[in-house]
């Protein structure tokens, strides 16, 4: 369900500048500090939740997002999801975030048009309705949500390292197949290309770079039943494709950059 505009309620005036200290929070009120760090599709999420009794363990995670505002809204969603797990009476939730545009979307002062923005705002609205309590969104300075920000930054960098390790593994696989392709010959017949098996059997496999296709058993086993958009996004080349790329004076790493780097 879409978000409803949350009007200001009767909170202490200084709460509209910065989050309260734990000893200032009345019973039944939950304070969320939600922040995100974003770079090239990868977001780190940091959430801190406080009540009058305690501060819950900070929650961090990574997420695939479509921009910094989407990332900030995702952090708010994560905060409400964590609140949902708490088995206590909740009378009110105050959510702090330092992104002005996210705040304008959350309070209904801006209307989302892109599907991914509409979806995350709808999810937040559904969580609010499920929690059955008043939720107030407050925009604050980044220096007042610094701990959530640092956690989000750590989560983003951790995910970036993981993604880099995965890319390095895929690069190594392609390098191994390039080496195996050195013994593969390419024959051109009427504008079509055939890879001659390096085993000496004389077996030939039709091979195409665009769209991706090879008649070899490895490709047929792994990719013949996949849709074209999945192949384009995920399939690394077989050795026959590597041989064809070399024959055409092409760069196989550029040809297969999307599945190597998993670019969306």
For residue 115, give the 3-state DSSP assignment: helix
Q: How many Å apart are CA 181 and CA 175, to the nearest integer? A: 10
Whether pLDDT at 264 is above 90: no
Q: In this predicted model, what pLDDT tens digit does every residue of 22-52 receive, in sequence order?
A: 899 999 999 999 999 999 999 999 999 999 9
Model pLDDT for residues 180-209, shown as the tens digit of each residue:
999 899 999 999 999 997 777 778 999 999
Residues 207-228: what's their mean pLDDT? Answer: 96
pLDDT tops 70 at residue 164:
yes
Name the strand (E) or helix (H) holding 33. strand 29-39
Give all domains of the chain, ordered by start, each with its CATH number. 13-157 (3.30.420.10), 166-261 (no CATH)
pTM of the full predicted structure?
0.81
């Amino acid at each position: 369900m879409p978000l409803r505009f949350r009007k200001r309620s009767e909170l202490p005036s200084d709460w509209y500048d910065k989050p309260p200290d734990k000893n200032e929070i009345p019973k039944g009120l939950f304070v969320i500090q939600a922040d995100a760090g974003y770079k090239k599709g990868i977001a780190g999420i940091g959430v801190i939740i406080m009540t009058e009794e305690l501060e819950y363990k900070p929650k961090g995670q990574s997420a695939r997002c479509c921009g910094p505002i989407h990332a900030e809204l995702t952090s708010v969603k994560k905060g409400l999801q964590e609140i949902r797990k708490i088995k206590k009476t909740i009378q009110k939730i105050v959510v702090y975030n330092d992104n002005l545009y996210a705040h304008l979307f959350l309070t209904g002062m801006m209307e989302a048009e892109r599907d991914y923005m509409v979806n995350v705002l709808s999810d937040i609205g559904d969580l609010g309705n499920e929690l059955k309590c008043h939720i107030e969104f407050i925009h604050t300075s980044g220096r007042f949500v610094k701990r959530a920000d640092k956690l989000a930054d750590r989560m983003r960098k951790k995910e970036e390292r993981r993604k880099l390790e995965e890319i390095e593994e895929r690069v190594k696989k392609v390098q191994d197949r390039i080496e195996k392709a050195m013994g593969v010959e390419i024959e051109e017949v009427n504008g079509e290309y055939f890879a001659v098996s390096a085993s000496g059997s004389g077996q030939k496999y039709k091979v195409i770079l665009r769209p991706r296709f090879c008649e070899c058993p490895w490709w047929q086993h792994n990719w013949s039943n996949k849709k074209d958009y999945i192949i384009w996004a995920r399939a690394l080349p077989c050795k026959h494709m590597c041989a064809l790329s070399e024959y055409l004076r092409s760069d196989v790493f550029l040809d297969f950059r999307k599945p190597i780097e998993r670019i969306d």
